């Protein structure tokens, strides 16, 4: 890498520069919130629009500097690609056909993930948990489908609004799974089916208190594994640095011994 690219990369990685970008992202988030208020826009709307454009210009310049500094390596980092897409969306012209895409400029606030290492670690942990979460989601969908079929066969005639069709039963059971008014639904069904708790209580225990908690367990395990990977990387880097220091120290001692030997033989002045 040329020296000027190294110096530019070092400048972009300075804590002061990163803190400035973080402050701009937070300020941009405040602007987005204020722009949702008609009263605020009527008073300081033009100033907010100008400030939004100025912050966007800063983001474009910062992204261009990083692209120049890193060259082709820029797009090898997924976080750089994320920043590029987020800033690129904000540059889309505000035409009628692209107005919905233009509204996604609020995604610029998500750049906080790339500027704060702890947030990046959390997102990385969640991404590593996706395979496990997909398996649990499949199990949950299977339980929900089987329970919806059973509930439709049992309660469709007496509670058609809640369990009249397979879709209605699935929606009602999903509401029960979230514990939103599930006791009221169960008591309503119990008016004609006194033994309804034999269905609803095991469903709540099996989905809410068991399967949903598996999501938390997988996420926590993934976070712990991600933290351990970071710790192992830091330990390996520290070990490599110590080994290099020991090697350099041994080299210096060997050179010193050679010089002392040469000085003792009179070939080098003491």
Domain range list for the chain: 3-115, 130-245
Record: fold of 130-245: Helix Hairpins (1.10.287)
Assign domain 3-115 to a CATH class.
Answer: mainly alpha
Bin 92: left if φ > 0, else alpha if -120 < ψ < 50, else beta. beta
Q: To the nearest whole number, what is the mean pLDDT of the chain?
A: 82
* CA geometry: angle 122, 117, 1, nearest 5 deg: 130
Tokens of 193: 């089916």
Q: Mapped to the 3 state alphabet, what secondary structure does 94-147 carry?
A: CCCCCHHHHHHHHHHHHHHHHHCHHHHHHHHHHHHCHHHHHHHHHHHHHHHHHH
Task: Give the Cα-Cα-Cα angle 22, 26, 29 (nearest 5 degrees).
Answer: 140
Neighbour tally for 115: CB within 10 Å: 17
Q: What is the pTM of this model?
A: 0.58
**CA Rg value for the chain:** 31
Q: How far apart are CA 182 and CA 151, in angstroms?
A: 14
Query: Which among 25, 24, 52, 22 is positioned nearest to 36, based on CA atoms?
Result: 52
- Which tokens is 82 given? 């994320």
How many degrees, rounded to 5, is the angle at CA 155 between CA 150 and CA 159? 140
DSSP state at residue 225? H
Degrees, nearest 5: CA angle 236-238-239: 65
C-alpha span between 212 and 195 (Å, rounded): 25
- Alpha-carbon distance of 58 to 116, in angstroms, equals 18
Nearest CA-CA partner of 60 in 84, 33, 27, 30: 84
pLDDT at 1: 55
- Residue with structure tokens 């009263």? 39
Task: Give the pLDDT of the chain (270 residues) as one tens digit per residue.
Answer: 567 778 888 888 888 888 888 888 888 888 888 888 888 888 888 898 899 889 889 988 988 988 888 888 888 887 788 888 888 877 776 666 555 665 666 777 777 777 777 777 777 777 788 888 888 889 889 999 999 999 999 999 988 999 999 999 999 999 999 888 899 999 999 999 999 999 999 999 988 888 888 888 888 887 777 677 666 666 666 766 777 787 787 787 777 777 777 666 665 454
């Amino acid at each position: 890498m040329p020296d000027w690219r190294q110096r530019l990369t070092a400048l972009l990685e300075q804590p002061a520069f990163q803190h400035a970008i973080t402050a701009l992202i937070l300020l941009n988030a405040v602007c987005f919130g204020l722009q949702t208020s008609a009263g605020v826009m009527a008073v300081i709307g033009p100033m907010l629009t100008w400030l939004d454009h100025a912050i966007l210009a800063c983001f474009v310049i910062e992204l261009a500097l990083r692209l120049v500094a890193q060259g082709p390596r820029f797009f090898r980092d997924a976080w750089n690609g994320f920043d590029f897409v987020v800033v690129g969306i904000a540059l889309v012209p505000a035409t009628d056909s692209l107005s919905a895409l233009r509204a996604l400029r609020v995604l610029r606030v998500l750049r906080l993930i790339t500027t704060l290492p702890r947030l990046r670690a959390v997102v990385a942990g969640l991404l590593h948990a996706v395979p496990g979460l997909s398996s649990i989601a499949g199990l949950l969908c299977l339980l929900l489908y089987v329970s919806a079929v059973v509930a439709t066969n049992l309660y469709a005639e007496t509670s058609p609004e809640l369990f009249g069709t397979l879709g209605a039963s699935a929606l009602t059971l999903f509401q029960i799974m979230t514990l939103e008014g599930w006791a009221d639904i169960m008591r309503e069904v119990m008016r004609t089916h006194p033994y309804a708790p034999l269905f609803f209580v095991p469903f709540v225990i099996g989905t809410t208190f068991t399967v949903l908690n598996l999501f938390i367990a997988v996420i926590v395990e993934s976070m712990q594994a991600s933290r351990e990977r970071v710790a192992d990387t830091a330990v390996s880097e520290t070990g490599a640095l110590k080994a290099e220091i020991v090697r350099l120290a041994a080299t210096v001692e060997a050179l010193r011994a050679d010089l002392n030997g040469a000085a003792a033989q009179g070939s080098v002045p003491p």
